[in-house]
Amino acid sequence: MPEGDTVYRSARSLDEALHGATLTRCDIRVPAFATVDLSGQVVHEVISRGKHLVAHVGETSIHSHLKMEGSWHLYRHGSKWRRPAFQARIVLETADWVAVGFELGTLELFPTSEDELHLGYLGPDLLGPDWDATAATRRLTEVGERPVAVALGDQRNLAGLGNVYVNELCFLRGLLPTRPMSEVTDPAGLVALGHRLILANRDRSERTTTGNLRRGMGTFVYGREGQPCRRCGTRIRSGQLGRSELEQRVTYWCPVCQT
């Protein structure tokens, strides 16, 4: 599942391949931007902001969000794509590389000068060079009675945590996902642990919150409904949380280890 660490690695790979290169082809396959052609423009950088990926090309920003199914691939010219062409939403070519964005949940273009207008609502970026733990903690403490799992996953509070990290953090801190943020006694510790977890996985192709990279052993509760808790043996439970469609998320928890 794409989380902030996945997007960070994608942006880093794209930047290493495209940084400073001139686009020789630009094929955008979404109706709103299908007529835009950035060929001849220089790729200044590709960066991540939380779970968002932004390529600065000329004076234009290409903003994408992977959502559930999206991914960016890099290919050498003439190489076979690993996903079908009909799933491609954008193709960017340079003299050396072909970058393809497949099934991107969001793909939009806007002037780079408007980056903050479109992305300024995001909270502190857990993997950003300007990570601010104090600001992230403050934002979490300001949400009051919202459930901790909803607050952690809200990108306006801190940017980069998806459902995997949210559920694992709640387990590691002994918190039910439904616990109101106002009842969390150490929000700074929660933020610090979230930062340590995502930072530890930033350069890994296989994410783990348990420290175990063996297949099926990477998480404590996420995706383990009905399986025994790795600490106490109680069956892991699962449910839906969130009042609105935008907030709804699947949660996993141990009814003994989390209160």
- The residue among 245 and 206 whose pLDDT is bigger is 206
Q: What number of CA atoms fall less than 13 Å from residue 215's CA on the CB side? A: 0
Which CATH number is 133-253 given? 1.10.8.50
In sequence order, the β-bridge partners of residue 97 are: 76
Q: Cβ atoms within 10 A of the Cβ of 252, count? A: 26
Phi, psi of 225 (to 5 degrees): -55, 130
Phi, psi of 39 (to 5 degrees): -55, 140
157-203: pLDDT as tens digits: 999 999 999 999 999 999 999 999 999 999 999 999 999 999 999 99
7-63: pLDDT as tens digits: 999 999 999 999 999 999 999 999 999 999 999 999 999 999 999 999 999 999 999
Q: Does domain 4-119 have CATH number 3.30.70.360?
A: no
Q: Is there a shared CATH topology between the 4-119 domain and the 133-253 domain?
A: no
In one-letter notation, the amino acid at residue 234 is T
Query: What letter would DSSP give residue 81?
Result: P
d(CA 24, CA 156): 36
Burial class (CB in 10 A: 0-12, 13-18, 19+), 126: buried
- Can you give the pLDDT at residue 247? 56
* pTM of the full structure: 0.94
In one-letter notation, the amino acid at residue 125 is D
Active site residues: 2-3, 51
Is 33:109 a contact under the CB 8 Å cutoff?
yes
DSSP helix/strand/coil, 211: coil
Q: What are the residue boundaries of the structural domains of the chain, listed by start?
A: 4-119, 133-253
